[in-house]
Amino acid sequence: MIHTSLDSIAIAGATGLMSGCHASIWGMYKDALHEGFRYGAFARSIVTGAIVTIVIEVWLGLPLPEPHALVLLFGLGYAAERGIVEVWKTFIRREDQSKYFIPMQFSIRGAPVTSYGARLAAGVAYVAVVAGTLLVVQQLNDGASTIGHTGRAALGGMAVGVLLAIGGAWKDAPKEGFQIVKFFRSPVMTVIYACLLAQLITDHLLIAAAAIGYERATAETYKTFFFPSRPRGKFRGKPILCPDLLVTRRYFVPVYVCICASVIACAAAAL
């Protein structure tokens, strides 16, 4: 573990608040119409994002506030927050699944697994697969490789992107059918982001992990704000219970745009 200053920890916390707020806004923008605005659910990603981003900074000791370090930390924090929240919702949380079209709990062929022990075991196996994939990606740091730095970054991005695609297909395909374009969207995006991050960073494990965060942020932004009238897959066919939020949710958009603009400006400065 590397010593970090209080200034770096404060900057990391602010970065985590931004990444968590970004995730909270797109999550609320469509979900709240069907289940209402819940303060705890909205704050969950913000708080989790801030905590995990501070932990990452304490662990890695990134040279904040250098632009390339901020770009990396935002992606890492986003990926960590998404991973923690999704594992909790999929394998640990107990919730009535009847309100969803696509179950949010771990399912087999679209049917939620009712055994809590089986879900926990599946969660452990899933985390092990993710950890194993990242350990394999870490081997790309071997300087003896004949593949160039950007090429190795692309391979790492492909590995984590395929993992995301398989997880998405496992959950969505039983209800929506297998969509080949949707399946390859994540690998293509993680490869692109990994290649871009490779211009700033040399560690392929960190590149791949940050690419996950940027893929999630980009995919959810596209689905949420380019198709605002299309419900998220999990609520397909479900009624809008809180139509008043169609207006209220718009007040969060300027904050969302500012976060996106800040990250883009930071990336431009880093490049």
Q: Does some domain include residue 173?
A: yes
Q: What is the DSSP letter of 49?
A: H
- Structural domain total, the chain: 1
Percent of the chain topping pLDDT 90 = 83
CA 28 – CA 53 distance, rounded (Å): 22
Q: What is the DSSP letter of 97?
A: -
Q: Does some domain include residue 1?
A: no
* Whole-prediction pTM: 0.94
Inform me whether the pLDDT recorded for 131 exceeds 80.
yes
pLDDT of residue 147: 86
Q: Does some domain include residue 198?
A: yes
Closest CA to 179 of 225, 233, 126: 233
What is the residue range of 255's domain?
6-270
- Which residue type occupies 212? I
Whole-number average pLDDT of the chain: 93
